[in-house]
Amino acid sequence: MSSDWIVEIVECGDLVQDDDEVTPPEEAERRWNRYVELADSVTGDEGPDGVAAIVSSLRAEEDYGAYQAAHAALSRFPCSDLGKGVAMAARELVSIPTGGSGNVLLILARAGSVAVSSFNEAMQMVDADVRREIRELVDFHESEEWLSEEGVRNVLLAPRA
C-alpha cells in the first residue's frame, strides 16, 4: 500500500456535511464516491498501517453510509493486523465521533482473541495519556450500546489496571 492511499483515504474520510455551505455538491459527491472506492479497494494485505489509516479516516459525524465500506474493509484484515492497527490509531480513535469509535471497537472485539490480544499488547506501547483515554472510551462503550453485550464486554484492555 502506498503512502498516497493512506493520505487520500484519511482526507476523503472527512466527508462533507449537510451544513457545509462552501463545498459544492459535486465535490461532496466526488469525495464520498472516492472514499467508498478507496475502502472497497482494501484487500487486507495493507498491514496495520492500512487499518490505522481507515480508523483515522472516520472523522465525519454523518457519513451517509460511506463508512459501511470502511467497516467491511476492516473485516478483511488478518486479526493480528487489525488489533495492532487499531492500537496504532489510538490517538485518532479517541477523537472521532463516538459512533465511529464504538463501531471500530465492536469490530475489533468480535474479531476474536487474536485481534484482541494484538490490540491489548500493542496498547502497552502507546503513550500513557492516550492509553488512559482509550480505557475511558472502552468503559464508555461498555456502559452504552456498542460493547455492552456478553462476549465483547471486558475483553479490550483486560486485565484492568
Angle, CA 105 vertex, CA 69 and CA 109 arms, to 5°? 105
Q: What is the pTM of this model?
A: 0.92
> According to the model, what pLDDT value does residue 151 have?
87
Distance CA 123, CA 139 (A): 15
Angle, CA 55 vertex, CA 143 and CA 94 arms, to 5°? 45
> According to the model, what pLDDT value does residue 60 have?
93
Place of cell 459535486: 26
> According to the model, what pLDDT value does residue 160 have?
53
Which set of grid coordinates corresponds to residue 10?
Answer: 484519511
Q: Is the pLDDT of residue 159 over 60?
A: no
Which set of grid coordinates corresponds to residue 66?
Answer: 460511506
Q: Is the pLDDT of residue 33 over 70?
A: yes
Distance CA 55, CA 77 (A): 13
Distance CA 22, CA 146 (A): 34
Q: Do you know the residue count of the chain?
A: 161
Distance CA 110, CA 95 (A): 22
- Tell me the pLDDT tens digit for each residue of 37-83: 999 999 999 999 999 999 999 999 999 999 999 999 999 999 999 99
Which set of grid coordinates corresponds to residue 110?
Answer: 468480535
Distance CA 7, CA 30 (A): 16
Phi, psi angle pair for 40, to nearest 5°: -65, -25
Would you kindly state where each structural domain of the chain is located, as residue ranges? 3-143
Q: CB–CB of 47/1 below 8 Å?
A: yes
Q: Is the pLDDT of residue 158 over 90?
A: no
